[in-house]
Amino acid sequence: MLPEMDKEILLDLVSKRMPFGKYKDRLICDLPVSYLEWFNRKGFPSGKMGMWLQTMHVIKTNGLEDLLKPLKRK
């Protein structure tokens, strides 16, 4: 079972939207991997947004997107 904080992060990924840039207003979980790779090369923003983007990058580059499917349906 995931710790409460980890669950909250996953729920944020399927409910929070990108607040700026080319993909503004798109759900974090729906950002293309190429955009996340760009942040990985250039540097992630600070704070929660950076943590969400970095977490989503790890999920997508490791083929773990199925973890989010049950959460997206809620």
pLDDT digit string, tens, across residues 3-33: 555 788 999 999 999 999 999 999 999 999 9
| pLDDT exceeds cutoff 80 at 2 | no
pLDDT digit string, tens, across residues 29-46: 999 999 999 999 999 999
More confident residue, 27 or 70: 27
Rounded to two decimals, the pTM is: 0.88
Query: Would you say 56 and 31 are in contact if contact means Cβ atoms under 8 Å apart?
Result: yes
Q: Kindly calculate the radius of gyration of the chain based on its CA atoms and give it in whole angstroms.
A: 12
Q: Residue 61: how many CA atoms within 13 Å on its side-chain side? A: 13
Structure tokens at 1: 């079972």
